[in-house]
Amino acid sequence: MEYYEPLPMSRAELEASIESGNQTAITEALLSAAFFDPDWRWVQGICLRFLDHTDSIVRWYAACCIGHIARIHEVLDLDLVLPKLVSLKTDAAIGPYIEEVMEDIRRWIRLQ
């Protein structure tokens, strides 16, 4: 995948992109939300939603953005996030990358 700098989007732009059904629009919105939206709970909810997406690239971005939330905000609802991430370890397409997200969480959030 090619790296590009995420751009800030308004909440309306984020919601339109998220609902567009377009892979690129969704992944750009996920990144923008993770980097720039101050409401980490809202962003976490969107990421959790897209962890079930049929497109593996969208799922990967959703997981990666959970790691970004952990790094930027140093908080997550671990009771919601961790079981979902653990279940994705068996995902053939993104399972190998889930441990990296878990490492981000361990690094930025004190697990009890």
Cα–Cα distance measured from residue 75 to residue 96, given in angstroms and rounded to the nearest whole number: 23
Nearest-angstrom CA–CA distance, 15 and 3? 23
* Residue 1 within a domain: no
Kindly state whether residue 67 falls inside one of the protein's structural domains.
Answer: yes
Residue 18 falls inside a structural domain: yes
Residue 110 confidence (pLDDT): 75
3-state helix, strand, coil in the chain (%, to 5): 70, 0, 30
Domain holding 29, by residue range, is 11-108
Q: Is residue 33 part of a domain?
A: yes
Domain count for the chain: 1
- Name the one residue in this structure whose structure tokens are 């909810």: 45
pLDDT of res. 47 = 98
pLDDT along the chain (112 residues), means of 10: 79 97 97 98 98 97 98 96 97 96 93 58
pLDDT for 4 equals 65
Q: Classify residue 76: in a domain, yes or no.
A: yes
